[in-house]
Structure 1
């Protein structure tokens, strides 16, 4: 899901396709092309990406795919949550299944594509952007990168395979990052398994040219990579593991409240501003994802959850309203505190069956 971004005008949409697909040397290059919207992903874009992947999968001229974003702000700020909001408010939450099924199929395809995909997660890469970048074979970040799964800000839960990535972060960092929506820089992303290499942003053009010239793409990227430096999230690992290893999120809050590290107090303060139901579902989803066999299973779990949110949870509409519609940044969650979240509600979220299955 995205940060706040301006909508693309109809004139902009008509001027150029929202995904640019072209062949440069041995590279099939895909550029998300909604720079004013930080390349936020919509249904049309998923179709265009799929079309290009279809065309290149058996094209011997294309040896590697490079995914990047137009503009200076980021690869992709997330998915089209404003459209999600409009459909739920209009009383048609099940219509959102069309977008989620297309998006999640694309996430799985990127992970399984038979040719190497190099994702350049320069700048803001959040929510749906993580689903595009962090399942690629070779994942590049820069000194400008900001990666996050910030769905609890809008009364929602991480999706696009985000819980799979969070579940496999070191220790209990996955619960911490998912519940709080904390933003990772390049070093954090590499440490937590969301990225592989740091390449300076002013070297990306040269990297693209080198990839187009052919050769082993992994070795080529390594030739441009630099050490990512110290990770703030890695430094926080001790207090995060002490607190987020608790059996319940209520106990996590108790441990944070008692902890002496100032960062633990800041995490508690952040949690006090986020959607209690969204946090509780996310905490459980990351835990359950650790026991799942693969990305597709995690996507199926997430799909059930996002459809449940759309059909049953007023927090999702309220969160999008506060962040992206009215932009007053003053959501009123229901229930308003973790103490009032019924454990049976959370259990029910994971047993709810979507009307339309994710995988045919």
Structure 2
């Protein structure tokens, strides 16, 4: 049986090695399941302590996706089957992997080709070199399945300028390579055709004269310059002032009203508006509050708070209904717990923010 994550150690100069990670669930768009997360944690831990490994390169198999998120169907099924410990274990271990990448002592390159959504952004966000390509499409579309931007999404989005992060959380808007670089989710644009060249150049590089980060920087810079002419047009940059105005409201109710009353013929904005208005009102309320709070948190605190929210949202929020509607029955007619954000009461929201544990499982991050 094929393994859902492939690992190899590519030989480089001076007896050094480059750790290559390939998410290998192509039919599922490399969405993360529990086995994949466990494999990633163990291998990244081993390579962290291996002096021969100088850098790590992460990619997805196939041409369509780096990683389209997590295996949310399996999480829903676990809840239906009466196994509430499954989502807790999934999120806890996923967040440990993400946090490890953020704090990894060796340069990590994430090759974000194709779809990068949800859990894929979680893996990518902590990488030192976050590469997007000509086919990259990034999004945090959790609003449509009754979740919210987790995998440190609340921490990352809360620090974006002009309230673009809030717009992303509420609308699940799709970002191309130029958008991703503009908002800081990516920091390199390289045409996907250069992927093999990048790997070969990393293998041929001199790892003795400079620190590893400088070596990787030099390799990527070469292909970044070769690719510069192909960077697409950024919708986020074009609409930055409009997005800021829409999001700059005294309350979430007012933000949603501004989106509802938006008059535009721009297809990208219309798609974002539609997602926001059809998404879970409870998820909108969770995301709105969490983004406000996460601005003042450390990364560790953000992961700890998200674990509380994610487990509660899966067990008691709109998650199971959202996944049913969008991905299982595919009727796209979810019966959300609240009809609109103005009806979400404080007690229901407070309950989702209340930890079910006396000590957070991620206390030792």
TM-score, normalised by the number of residues in structure 2: 0.89
The residue that corresponds to 1:173 in the other structure is 164
Check whether the contact 1:304–1:352 (CA below 8 A) recurs between aligned residues.
yes
From 311, 336, 349, the counterpart of 2:315: 311
Determine whether 1:342 maps to 2:345: yes
The residue that corresponds to 2:199 in the other structure is 208
Deviation string 1:315-346 (CA, Å, 9 cap, x unpaired) is 21111001111122221212121221113322
Determine whether 1:301 maps to 2:305: yes
CA apart distance, 1:84: 0.7
Determine whether 1:283 maps to 2:274: no
Give matches, 1:37-116, under 5 Å.
Answer: 37-116=28-107
1: CA distance, partners of 2:38 / 2:303: 19
SS in 2 for 1:84: helix
Give matches, 1:228-239, under 5 Å.
Answer: 228-239=231-242
Check whether the contact 1:172–1:244 (CA below 8 A) recurs between aligned residues.
yes
Determine whether 1:199 maps to 2:190: yes
Unaligned runs of 5+ in 2: 12-16, 207-214
CA apart distance, 1:261: 4.6
The residue that corresponds to 1:154 in the other structure is 145
Check whether the contact 1:151–1:158 (CA below 8 A) recurs between aligned residues.
yes
2: CA distance, partners of 1:224 / 1:37: 30
The residue that corresponds to 2:274 in the other structure is 269
CA apart distance, 1:256: 3.2
Deviation string 1:36-59 (CA, Å, 9 cap, x unpaired) is 111111111112112222222232
1: CA distance, partners of 2:83 / 2:40: 26
Check whether the contact 2:172–2:276 (CA below 8 A) recurs between aligned residues.
no
The residue that corresponds to 2:222 in the other structure is 223
2: CA distance, partners of 1:267 / 1:179: 8
Determine whether 1:18 maps to 2:12: no
Deviation string 1:91-149 (CA, Å, 9 cap, x unpaired) is 23233111111100000001111110000000011111111112111110001001111
Give matches, 1:111-126, under 5 Å.
Answer: 111-126=102-117
Deviation string 1:56-102 (CA, Å, 9 cap, x unpaired) is 22323211100001111111111111111011112232331111111
SS in 2 for 1:103: helix
Unaligned runs of 5+ in 1: 1-13
Runs of 4+ in 1 over 6 A off after TM superposition: none
SS in 2 for 1:351: coil
The residue that corresponds to 1:11 in the other structure is none
1: CA distance, partners of 2:77 / 2:204: 45
Check whether the contact 1:243–1:255 (CA below 8 A) recurs between aligned residues.
yes
SS in 2 for 1:36: helix
2: CA distance, partners of 1:56 / 1:47: 14
The residue that corresponds to 1:139 in the other structure is 130
SS in 2 for 1:306: helix
Distance 1:60 1:97, change over 3 A: same
The residue that corresponds to 1:324 in the other structure is 327
Root-mean-square deviation over aligned CA pairs? 1.8
Deviates more, 1:322-331 or 1:115-124: 322-331
Check whether the contact 1:289–1:298 (CA below 8 A) recurs between aligned residues.
yes
TM-score, normalised by the number of residues in structure 1: 0.91
CA apart distance, 1:219: 1.7
SS in 2 for 1:63: strand
